[in-house]
Structure 1
Amino acid sequence: MSAVFKAVRQKPANLQFPCQQCGAVLKYAAGTTHLLCEHCGTQNLIEARGGAIEEYDLGQALRQLAQSPASTAAAPTIHCNECGAGFQFEAKIHAGECPFCGTPIVAATAEIKPIQPKALLPFGIDEAAARRRFQQWIAGLWFAPNAVKKYARGDTKLSGVYLPFWTFDSQTSTTYSGERGDVYYVREQVQVVRNNRVVTETRQVPKIRWTPVGGRVQRFFDDVLVGASHSLPRKILDALQPWDLHALVPYDENYLSGFRSEYYQVELADGFDRARQVMDDQIYLDICRDIGGDHQRIHRVDTRHGNTTYKHCLLPVWSAAFRYRDKSYRFVINGRTGKVQGERPYSIWKIALACLSALLLAAGIYYYLEAAGALGNPQGAAITIQPYPYPPAPAGWQ
């Protein structure tokens, strides 16, 4: 098997990080490059790990996964060195806290998943900054119930979580066939009613001339990001973008100490299927631009992928949920930029009041204009919509 599958197998079942000063277990201080001892206050620097962030061949990985037996391993038993307790994390978690003493523990992932994370983005903002971003977001929601806005003023407890993602690079070459549509105008006789009489008028009527086309477009896709977690809806995960992936650092368990971290739940092949959908959307736009004209029809598309690579990385989010009328609403905050995305309730009364106010305002404006005579229309005048004055059709077009 390739190095990507074996890189973490020799590591211990779980890791804890003692303070160099007093021996107490350390936690990563979000937004910094050090571990903080909550016992003596000592800051323990996380030494930077050298080496570039590698990309791995997708085709080779998929073949190796297909030849490997499906993993049936249960979640490993974790041993806490502080209190001696033995326990298991949730099935999707490999970093968290001991449920008996709260000690942060990071478990190795190789016993459960064949592909190990090779890079991560450390938290760029701490919990206090994330809470402020959340309070600004929820306070600015339109039509939110007052009870929800009061929640923004409370002491919201956020959980820091590293979520798994795939990124994909691919050089694509796409051949296509279709039609190009060019708009032109012709003069046609139409009948209209004026002064209660039917009269004939000449108007410019738009037509489309379709021409068969074919061609090829090429595009290199770099770091197409796909969420590999089922903990949050894909719509929310996608909306957290953009991420500063250029700042990825080699995977280091020190950054996970004191935070939760998930295994990937979306398999590599499924992740690439999602990435291809993202690529196909962009390729469709490229084809439309290549065809040109005013309208495009695409009949056949054949995309070939070459030099396709992937990497597995962990990205940081602050997460929480609140309840309103027996329903839970989740929200997450990008742990690098502070961007907030989530679910929210609406106040039916506020929406109804806004609609009623808009109707009253429109009615007031109408009656004012009518009283001022601004809505009058000369007797017998016809109201017509003039077409945009496009140039006449080229010679020989019909």
Structure 2
Amino acid sequence: MVISYKCPGCGDDMAFAAESGALACRSCGRQDKIENIPEELKTARFTEDEATEYHCQNCGAILITEKETTATSCSFCGGAAVIADRLSGNLAPAKVIPFTISKEEAADAFRKWCRKGLLTPKGFMSADRIKSITGMYVPFWMYDLNSKVQVSARCTKVHRYTQGDYIYTKTEHYDAFRDINLDYIKVPVDASEKMNDELMDKLEPYPYDQLKDFKTAYLAGYIAEKYNYDDEELFPRAKSKISGYIESYIDSTLSGYSSVDVKTKHVDTQKMKSFYVLLPVWMVNYNYKQKDYIFAMNGQTGKVVGKPPISSFKEKMWFSGLAVFIFAVWKIIAAVMGGGA
């Protein structure tokens, strides 16, 4: 089943407007609050063998979609289409963070970001070479995790003091034990095999206070996909994402010692809850010297991530300037300490 939202006023297509957070008509400008749109999700469940052809509700054209696609637009009339049966049953997202940055705002923000590149070529910074900019909802699993940690360590505190003509060193030895209970909530892991995991991780954090109950109307006018990996498959990635925070917390509880020798460490991380969400991402295809560069922008915060080209000339000049600065600082320090020429 394909859903398209029609304007009650003029009958044209309506799509989600990031600026207002409402469903907006592209012709007459009418806007309806998402909360007032009746939910059309059915209880049917999508299977891997289901046909991938759907008919556009506007012009009757056949929409050819990949099995992961849940929202798209008609290539013939441009009408927004939400494929509801791929968002139902166990495939229905629990929450969504809607776009708050429009396509025009995203393009402007990306151009400003390009101009800030210290080592990017001048042509990349000044030229407008955006080939395409696509708003899409990327599937994520969010996890609430609990970690029980037990650590035993042999620690020392070293004190040095002077008494008369002698310098004494006093070393105290301690057996330290830590029994730690840590909770992490809303740990996101992208669940699309098409998306670059490194890019998606760098887009964080999202404003999770903006999570809303899922409604198909949020997807109208955007591309969206269903997950390729379920929460059990991605659980190891969720654990790995918090491992660094766990290590930092352990280190913080063992601070104040001169040395710490960890003897045993046991970390048991369990999934308390997981839920399926859709998060907003603007994907930018930028062409420079006949080569495409892919960038991603957080559809809520405007944060841009990606790897732009590097100017070899600027890179050499930057490192040369850094070397001169370090040498000057070294000369000043040497002069202050009496080692200057």
Measured against the shorter chain, the TM-score band is 0.7 to 0.9
Please tell me whether residue 283 in structure 1 is matched to residue 246 in structure 2: yes
Matched, 1:38 2:26: yes
Aligned partner of residue 194 in structure 2, secondary structure: coil
Q: In 1, distance between residues paired with 2:330 and 2:150?
A: 56
Q: 317, 322, 341: which one pairs with 2:305? A: 341
Q: Structure 1 residues 278 and 185, CA, compared in 2 at 3 Å: closer, same or farther?
A: farther
For the pair shown, the structure with the greater C-alpha radius of gyration is: 1
Name the amino acid aligned to 1:244: P
Distance 1:14 1:376, change over 3 A: closer
User: Structure 1 residue 326: deviation in Å?
Assistant: 4.3
Query: How far apart, CA to CA, are the structure 2 residues paired with 1:121 and 1:313?
Result: 8
What is the deviation of 1:40? Answer: 2.5
Counterpart pick for 2:68 among 71, 92, 107: 92
TM superposition shift of 1:88: 2.1
Q: Work out the CA distance in 2 between the residues paired with 1:72 and 1:107.
A: 14
Secondary structure of 1:310's counterpart equals strand
Q: Decide whether the 8 Å contact of 1:164 with 1:227 is kept in 2.
A: yes
Corresponding residue number in structure 1 for 2:42: none
Mark the CA change 1:124 to 1:297 in structure 2 (over 3 Å): closer, same or farther: farther
Tell me the secondary structure at the aligned position of residue 47 of structure 1: helix
Tell me the alpha carbon deviations over residues 192-233 of structure 1, each in whole angstroms, 9 at most, x when there is no partner: xxxxxxxxxx99798976643323101121111212223332
Residues matched between the structures, number: 329
Alpha carbons of structure 1 residues 183 and 263: separation in structure 2 relative to 1, 3 Å = farther
The residue correspondences of 1:361-376 to structure 2 (distance < 5 A) are 376=340
Q: Per residue, is there more strand in 1 or in 2?
A: 2
| Alpha-carbon distance, 1:17 to partner | 0.6
Of residues 208-217 and 232-241 in structure 1, the stretch that sits farther from structure 2 once superposed is 208-217
- After superposition, the C-alpha distances for 1:296-344 in whole angstroms (9 at most, x for unaligned) are 3334333344671011111111121213344321111111111111221
Identity, in percent, stands at 25
Any residues of structure 2 matched to 1:1-398 within 5 Å, and which? 13-47=1-35, 72-74=48-50, 76-108=52-84, 110=86, 114-151=90-127, 153=128, 157-185=132-160, 211-294=174-257, 295-305=259-269, 308-358=272-322, 376=340
TM-score w.r.t. structure 2 length? 0.83
Distance 1:26 1:368 in 2: 66
Secondary structure in structure 2 of the residue aligned to 1:95: strand
**2:154, 2:173 within 8 Å by CA — same for their partners in 1?**
yes
Measured at CA, do residues 282 and 208 of structure 1 come closer, stay the same or move farther in structure 2, by a change above 3 Å?
farther
Note the C-alpha offset of 1:110. 4.0
Q: 1:259 offset after TM fit, Å? A: 0.3
Instruction: Quote the offset at 1:141 in angstroms.
Output: 0.8
Give the SS at the match of 2:91: coil
Q: Deviations over 1:52-86 (max 9, x none)?
A: xxxxxxxxxxxxxxxxxxx6425532111212122
Structure 1 residues not aligned, in runs of 5+: 1-12, 51-70, 188-201, 378-398
Distance 1:353 1:361 in 2: 12
Counterpart AA for 1:331: F
